[in-house]
């Protein structure tokens, strides 16, 4: 049982890491900040906001 | 765990690490198993993390779990977000992992596996991890300020100016160098070119899916994109075997370079970025997946290293790049051991996500440990190849000749037997017309990876698929560096030129975007074109230049760190940052001196220019060498000024002539600890 709990936690954590890396959590935060729901319009707004931040973010060598 | 068991565990890890290091260092004349490298690396990292990073955290940085971080104080749900430490770790690792730790070790394998492996392990534990850790913490204590801002605040305006110049220079040369790697990997390769070309329409499809069908479901879209890319790899095989399609996708190096230059400009200046943005996600997805797969492959297969620990080329006569093991092995390895570029990430997005000061240890030090392990895996991928094959792939035509028989004979005469027939069979097995003169590191890495993967999954029959998967993986994320680098460089130029003429500083003003994008593309395009036209393969001059820039930026970061350490009154522990700083200054200044003034035309830019003058070569080629020499000299002088400026600041503070004043944000107690306690 303990092993299953550890595995479950590890998988959940991996999911959280991937969701942060792939900006899914950032989108949820955006929706919460703007009190809006998921949809094409809100995602387009999110992408516009992200674009400004990403253009200044160097990608490592 | 009882104390006695903990002690026993660490004694065992230490002994195992020592045994593994002794095995890789002392074995001569016999091939060894790659697992010795893995064990040596993991044991050293474990000890470094457990003891050295703990020492730095407790004695030097005085990490305080009760001090609120900017993520907590300035939380806005956008940039400043308190995030789980493992999530920040993953985010940070995804940001710092690039082609450097893959390409650098492959190129440095020309000295044998030993010098590169030792530097990757030792350099990371004592240098790279320390730099990333301390810069991350110092940025956290300054509201997530960038390296440039910290340099300006702690050292002075010169420090800020030099780090700005170093960042622009490193981005320019980096993009030129990595673009050249893609060109060398894809030239005369219809399969590879087709696969990479297909990533553009795939990205657009992903964009449509992401925006119209499943808004915000990036992971799902990336899986969908990945499946399409896999289909493109299989489609590439068909293209390579179709005479008409193969002809359409068989491109020369200059054509590919021109296409990449046009692509870089379009991605930065035209409103296509949002369409191509999903490719960024795809690239990250493939990168993380492939690195994990490679690690599993190495552990499952436990391959034998065919490369000797040391080759005759430690004397500086290597065909991959010229120069002796010191300083060039250290310059070439670059990001796998220490990277100035990481200081930009550690003072960029990451500090704004850190929830507790104590977590900087895992993210900063631990993130670099993971990056260094990737570099060890790249060294293994290069060293599992037969040395003759490695040199046939990585040697430029200008050194070994264009004809397969002549090249094979030259390499065999060096003591690394290889035949033209053997190379032809290998090329056939991986679906290429030829593997001779594929300089740049990417193809050699891809062959090594295909070798490991095909022996673990699918056998020799699928070697071509694995090879092209590896090429796709490298080219895909290198191209994202090309477009991201161009955009970041453009943005920095706009900011700087805005001080001269205000309108150009308006980052959304279209004429400004066009002009600064063109300037940025012209700058890295110049280096790319120079590399493509270079009979020595381009990498010989470009990669060391990139390595020098990268390590000089690390020297600037360590100057900033040491200055803060002095001002914090922690001089007793100054060696933690001072030793890697001294080492980097010694390495970069020696390498720059060699690259500029060495009388050997294969090493020294000016000697090469003189040789070209005497042979009546074109003015353009001579100018290229002179420019490379000027870039290396100017950067060294600028960084020399920062080092002197920093040292004077230390003396002023230590002699009491100046009050030690750190520019940290005032202490605020965290709420999180109380909330966690309930």
What are B379-410's pLDDT values in tens digits? Answer: 999 999 999 999 999 999 889 988 999 999 99
Mean pLDDT of chain B: 92
Average pLDDT over residues B552-563: 95
Question: Å from A45 to nearest chain B CA?
Answer: 11
Q: Least CB-CB distance to B211: which of A26, A43, A57?
A: A43
Q: Give the pLDDT band (50/70/90) at residue B478.
A: confident
CA–chain centroid gap for B240, Å, is: 31
Average pLDDT over residues B160-174: 86
Q: Do residues B305 and B35 lie in contact, with contact meaning Cβ atoms separated by under 8 Å?
A: no
Highest mean pLDDT range out of B122-126, B292-296, B507-511, B542-546?
Answer: B122-126
Q: Which residue has the tokens 């590191």?
A: B441
Residues of B in contact with A59 (CB under 8 A): 95, 98, 480-481, 484-485, 488
Q: Do A58 and B341 touch (CB under 8 A)?
A: yes
Q: Give the pLDDT band (50/70/90) at residue B324.
A: very high
Q: Give the pLDDT band (50/70/90) at residue B584.
A: very high
pLDDT at B270 over 90: no
Does any CB of chain B come closer than 8 Å to the CB of residue A12? Answer: no
Does any CB of chain B come closer than 8 Å to the CB of residue A24? Answer: yes
| Tokens encoding B573 | 């522990």
Closest CA to B640 of B576, B571, B573, B589: B589
pLDDT tens-digit map of B343-360: 989 998 899 999 999 999
Q: Do A55 and B507 touch (CB under 8 A)?
A: yes
> pLDDT at position B48, please?
98
List strand residue ranges (DSSP E) for B435-545, in order.
none
> pLDDT at position B481, please?
85
> pLDDT at position B506, please?
86
How many C-beta atoms surround the C-beta of residue B413 within 10 A? 9
Q: Do B488 and A27 touch (CB under 8 A)?
A: no
Angle at B323 between CA B448 and CA B426, to 5 degrees: 25
Using N-to-C axis directions, what is the helix angle for B510-533 and B157-186, rounded to 10°?
Answer: 60
Question: Å from A18 to nearest chain B CA?
Answer: 8
Mean pLDDT of chain A: 87
Q: Give the pLDDT band (50/70/90) at residue B273.
A: low
Does any CB of chain B come closer than 8 Å to the CB of residue A32? Answer: yes
Element (H, E) at B395: none
SS (H, E, C) B293-325: HHHHHHHHHCCEECCCCCCHHHHCCCCCCCCCH
Helix (H, G, I), strand (E, B) or coil at B68: strand
> pLDDT at position B156, please?
87
Does any CB of chain A come closer than 8 Å to the CB of residue B383? Answer: no
> pLDDT at position B1, please?
78
pLDDT at B509 over 90: no
If phi > 0 it is left, if psi is from -120 to 50 it is alpha, else beta; for residue B188 that is: left
Q: What distance in Å separates the CA atoms of residue A28 and residue A46, rounded to the nearest whole number? A: 10
Element (H, E) at B577: helix B575-597
Does any CB of chain A come closer than 8 Å to the CB of residue B43? Answer: no
pLDDT at B673 over 80: no
Does any CB of chain B come closer than 8 Å to the CB of residue A39? Answer: yes
Angle at B458 between CA B453 and CA B463, to 5 degrees: 60
Interface residue of A6, A30, A54, A60 to substitute, partner B, most B CBs within 10 Å: A60
Q: What percent of chain B has pLDDT over 70?
A: 99
Q: What distance in Å separates the CA atoms of residue B85 and residue B65, rounded to the nearest whole number? A: 13
Does any CB of chain A come closer than 8 Å to the CB of residue B486? Answer: no
CA–chain centroid gap for A28, Å, is: 7
Q: Do A17 and B81 touch (CB under 8 A)?
A: no
Q: How many CB pairs under 8 A join A and B?
A: 125
Q: What distance in Å separates the CA atoms of residue B531 and residue B539, rounded to the nearest whole number? A: 7
Question: Å from B322 to nearest chain A CA?
Answer: 22
Question: Å from B614 to nearest chain A CA?
Answer: 37
Q: Do B215 and A43 touch (CB under 8 A)?
A: yes
pLDDT at B648 over 90: yes
pLDDT at B572 over 80: yes
Does any CB of chain A come closer than 8 Å to the CB of residue B84? Answer: yes
Q: Do residues B604 and B626 lie in contact, with contact meaning Cβ atoms separated by under 8 Å?
A: no
pLDDT at B202 over 80: yes
> pLDDT at position B389, please?
97
> pLDDT at position B50, please?
97
Average pLDDT over residues B592-607: 95
> pLDDT at position B274, please?
62
Nearest C-alpha in A relative to B212: A40
pLDDT tens-digit map of B408-465: 999 999 999 999 999 999 999 998 889 998 988 999 999 999 998 887 777 777 899 9
User: Which residues of B, range 272-311, sit inside 8 Å of A by Cβ?
Assistant: 273-274, 277, 280-281, 284-285, 288
> pLDDT at position B495, please?
85
Q: Do B285 and A22 touch (CB under 8 A)?
A: yes
Residues of A in contact with B88 (CB under 8 A): 20
Q: Do residues B378 and B37 lie in contact, with contact meaning Cβ atoms separated by under 8 Å?
A: no
Interface residue of B216, B219, B331 to substitute, partner A, most A CBs within 10 Å: B216
Buried b (16+ CB within 10 A) or exposed e, B269-299: beebbebbbbbbbbbbbbbbebbebbeebbe
Question: Å from A58 to nearest chain B CA?
Answer: 6
Average pLDDT over residues B7-28: 94
Residues of B in contact with A10 (CB under 8 A): none
> pLDDT at position B29, please?
78
Q: Give the pLDDT band (50/70/90) at residue B314.
A: very high
Q: Least CB-CB distance to A60: which of B88, B210, B345?
A: B345
Does any CB of chain B come closer than 8 Å to the CB of residue A36? Answer: no
pLDDT at B269 over 90: no
Q: Which residue has the higher pLDDT, B653 or A50?
A: B653
Angle at B639 between CA B634 and CA B641, to 5 degrees: 95
Q: Give the pLDDT band (50/70/90) at residue B276.
A: low
Residues of B in contact with A20 (CB under 8 A): 83, 87-88, 90-91
> pLDDT at position B485, please?
86
Element (H, E) at B130: helix B129-140
Helix (H, G, I), strand (E, B) or coil at B83: strand
Instruction: Give the contacts of B522 (CB within 8 A, at least 6 positions apart).
Output: none
Question: Å from A46 to nearest chain B CA?
Answer: 9
Average pLDDT over residues B261-276: 80
> pLDDT at position B662, please?
87
Element (H, E) at B32: strand B32-33
């Amino acid at each position: 049982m303990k092993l299953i709990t550890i595995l479950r936690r590890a998988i959940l954590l991996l999911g959280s890491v991937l969701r942060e890396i792939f900006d899914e959590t950032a989108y949820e935060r955006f929706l919460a900040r703007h009190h809006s729901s998921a949809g094409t319009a809100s995602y387009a707004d999110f992408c516009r906001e992200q674009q400004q931040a990403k253009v200044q973010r160097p990608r490592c060598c | 765990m009882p104390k006695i068991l903990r002690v026993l565990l660490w004694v065992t890890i230490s002994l195992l690490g020592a045994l593994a290091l002794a095995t890789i260092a002392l074995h001569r004349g016999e091939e060894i198993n790659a697992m010795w490298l893995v064990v040596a690396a993991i044991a050293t990292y474990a000890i470094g993390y457990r003891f050295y990073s703990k020492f730095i955290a407790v004695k030097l940085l005085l990490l305080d779990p009760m001090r609120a971080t900017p993520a907590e104080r300035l939380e806005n749900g956008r940039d400043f977000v308190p995030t789980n430490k493992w999530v920040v770790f993953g985010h940070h690792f995804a940001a710092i992992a690039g082609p450097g730790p893959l390409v650098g070790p492959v190129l440095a394998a020309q000295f044998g596996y030993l010098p590169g492996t030792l530097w990757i392990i030792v350099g990371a534990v004592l240098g790279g991890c320390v730099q990333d850790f301390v810069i991350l913490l110092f940025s956290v204590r300054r509201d997530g300020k960038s390296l440039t801002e910290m340099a300006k605040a702690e050292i002075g305006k010169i420090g800020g100016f030099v780090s700005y110049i170093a960042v622009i220079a490193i981005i320019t040369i980096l993009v030129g160098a990595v673009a050249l790697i893609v060109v060398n990997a894809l030239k005369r390769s219809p399969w590879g070119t087709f696969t990479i070309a297909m990533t553009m329409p795939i990205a657009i499809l992903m964009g449509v899916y992401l925006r119209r069908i499943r808004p915000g479901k990036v992971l799902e879209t990336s899986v969908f994109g990945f499946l399409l890319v896999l289909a493109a790899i299989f489609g590439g095989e068909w293209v390579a075997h179709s005479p008409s399609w193969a002809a359409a996708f068989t491109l020369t190096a200059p054509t590919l370079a021109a296409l990449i230059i046009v692509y870089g400009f379009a991605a930065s200046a035209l409103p296509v970025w949002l369409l191509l943005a999903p490719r960024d996600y795809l690239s990250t997805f493939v990168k993380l997946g492939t690195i994990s797969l490679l690690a599993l492959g190495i552990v499952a297969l436990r391959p034998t290293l065919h490369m000797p620990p040391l080759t005759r080329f430690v004397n500086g006569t290597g065909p991959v790049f010229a120069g002796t093991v010191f300083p060039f092995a250290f310059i070439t390895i670059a990001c796998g051991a220490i990277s100035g570029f990481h200081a930009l990430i550690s003072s960029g997005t990451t500090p704004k996500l850190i929830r507790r000061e104590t977590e900087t240890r895992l993210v900063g030090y631990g993130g670099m440990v993971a990056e260094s392990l990737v570099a060890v895996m790249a060294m293994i991928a290069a060293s599992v190849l037969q040395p003759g094959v490695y040199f046939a792939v990585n040697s430029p035509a200008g050194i070994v000749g264009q004809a397969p028989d002549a090249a094979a004979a030259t390499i065999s005469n060096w003591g690394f037997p290889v035949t033209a027939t053997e190379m032809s069979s290998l090329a056939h097995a991986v679906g290429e017309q030829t593997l001779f003169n594929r300089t740049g590191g990417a193809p050699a890495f891809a062959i090594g990876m295909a070798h490991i993967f095909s022996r673990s999954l699918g056998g020799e029959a699928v070697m071509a698929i694995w090879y092209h998967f590896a090429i796709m993986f490298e080219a895909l994320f290198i191209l994202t560096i090309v477009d991201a680098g161009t955009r970041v460089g453009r943005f920095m130029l706009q900011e700087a030129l805005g001080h001269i003429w205000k309108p150009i500083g308006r980052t959304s003003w279209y004429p400004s975007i066009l002009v600064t994008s063109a300037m940025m593309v012209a700058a890295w395009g110049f280096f790319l074109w120079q590399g493509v036209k270079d009979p020595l393969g381009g990498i010989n001059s470009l990669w060391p230049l990139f390595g020098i820039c990268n390590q000089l930026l690390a020297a600037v970061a360590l100057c900033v760190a040491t200055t803060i350490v002095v001002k914090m009154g922690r001089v007793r522990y100054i060696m933690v940052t001072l030793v890697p700083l001294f080492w980097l200054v010694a390495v970069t200044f020696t390498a720059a001196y060699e690259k500029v003034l060495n009388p050997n035309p294969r090493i020294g830019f000016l000697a090469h220019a003189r040789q070209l003058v005497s042979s009546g070569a074109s003015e353009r080629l001579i100018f290229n060498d002179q420019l490379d020499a000027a870039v290396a000299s100017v950067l060294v002088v600028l960084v020399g000024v920062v080092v002197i400026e920093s040292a004077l600041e230390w003396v002023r503070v230590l002699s009491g002539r100046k009050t030690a004043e750190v520019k940290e944000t005032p202490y605020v107690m965290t709420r999180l600890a109380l909330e966690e306690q309930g």
